[in-house]
């Protein structure tokens, strides 16, 4: 069972933003050929791209997430496999790995296997876009007395609300952040009805580590942005977006 199987029922409630979709849509329009999204979740990006007429394949390791995505759009080619080694028997003009799916690969070997597999799925001259959260030392350092409980979000429901809290611990040696997420479901009278917790792990990366991995996997880094408006990547940015091309030759 994958980590996200247990989060599939709350994923769309937690992550309902779409400010990044126009960025990927513009790239899909600019690059030729079909699009593959790696670690596509429930199709937050893949589904609007398919709705706009792009041919889209969505690879997602969690079967529960894929089931939700299939319910939203049969126009997407859904593949419930691991992006490190799946073979799609199709070549793409654009590959998208967005919203921290790349950070779910918690070892450098896994990340490199994924990048090499992506290269094999791009036509010569095809583009890969990777977008991850940018983490800065002060955020990763943690509290002096040990990790504290954060309140992450409140989401209104037809009858009640969902609250999410989390505790994170970052290991600077492995660059792995262990998170424990706590979900509390309240009814309309404010009475807690259900409570559960899940563990998640991500491996934080940096601009230059990602750039070197891309080079090792046979890509040429074409652009680095710090936001979806094409802002430069500078200290304090929320996002790290790297565009890298499989050489045409």
Ligand X SMILES: C[S@@+](CC[C@H](N)C(=O)[O-])C[C@H]1O[C@@H](n2cnc3c(N)ncnc32)[C@H](O)[C@@H]1O
Q: Which residues bind ligand X (CB under 6 A)?
A: 2, 4, 15, 39-41, 44-45, 59-62, 65, 82-84, 98-101, 104
Provide the minimum distance between the beta carbon of 1 and ligand X in the complex, in angstroms, as a whole number: 11
Spatial separation of the C-alpha atoms in residues 100 and 206, rounded to whole Å = 12
Q: Hey, is 93 helix, strand or coil?
A: strand
Element of type H or E holding 69: helix 63-72
Provide the minimum distance between the beta carbon of 202 and ligand X in the complex, in angstroms, as a whole number: 8
Q: CB nearer to ligand X: give 2 or 90.
A: 2
Provide the minimum distance between the beta carbon of 122 and ligand X in the complex, in angstroms, as a whole number: 17
Q: CB nearer to ligand X: give 39 or 129.
A: 39
Q: CB nearer to ligand X: give 3 or 209.
A: 3
Provide the minimum distance between the beta carbon of 208 and ligand X in the complex, in angstroms, as a whole number: 23
Spatial separation of the C-alpha atoms in residues 100 and 77, rounded to whole Å = 21
Q: How many CA atoms lie within 13 A of 209 on its CB side?
A: 15
Q: CB nearer to ligand X: give 110 or 147.
A: 110
Structure tokens at 42: 């429930």
Provide the minimum distance between the beta carbon of 248 and ligand X in the complex, in angstroms, as a whole number: 27
- In this structure, the number of other CB atoms found within 10 A of the CB of residue 237 comes to 17
Structure tokens at 163: 């609250």
- Residue 28 has phi, psi (to 5 degrees) of -65, -35
Q: CB nearer to ligand X: give 31 or 60.
A: 60
Spatial separation of the C-alpha atoms in residues 125 and 134, rounded to whole Å = 27
Q: Hey, is 214 helix, strand or coil?
A: helix
């Amino acid at each position: 069972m994958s980590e996200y199987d247990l989060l599939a029922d709350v994923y769309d409630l937690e992550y309902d933003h779409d400010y990044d979709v126009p960025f990927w849509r513009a790239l899909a329009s600019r690059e030729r050929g079909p699009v593959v999204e790696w670690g596509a979740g429930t199709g937050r990006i893949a589904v609007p791209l398919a709705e706009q007429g792009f041919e889209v394949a969505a690879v997602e390791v969690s079967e529960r997430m894929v089931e939700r995505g299939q319910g939203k759009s049969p126009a997407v080619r859904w593949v419930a496999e691991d992006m490190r080694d799946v073979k799609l028997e199709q070549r793409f003009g654009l590959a998208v790995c967005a919203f921290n799916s790349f950070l779910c690969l918690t070892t450098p070997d896994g990340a490199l296997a994924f990048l090499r597999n992506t290269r094999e799925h791009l036509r010569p001259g095809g583009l890969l876009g990777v977008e991850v959260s940018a983490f800065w030392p002060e955020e990763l350092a943690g509290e002096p007395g040990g990790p504290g409980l954060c309140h992450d979000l409140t989401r209104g429901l037809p009858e009640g609300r969902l609250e999410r809290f989390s505790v994170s611990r970052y290991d600077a040696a492995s660059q792995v952040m262990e998170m424990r997420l706590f979900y509390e479901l309240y009814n309309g009278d404010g009475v807690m009805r259900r409570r559960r917790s899940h563990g998640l792990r991500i491996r934080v990366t940096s601009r230059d580590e990602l750039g070197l991995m891309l080079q090792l996997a046979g890509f040429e880094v074409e652009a680095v942005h710090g936001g979806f408006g094409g802002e430069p990547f500078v200290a304090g940015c929320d996002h790290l977006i790297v565009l890298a091309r499989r050489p045409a030759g």
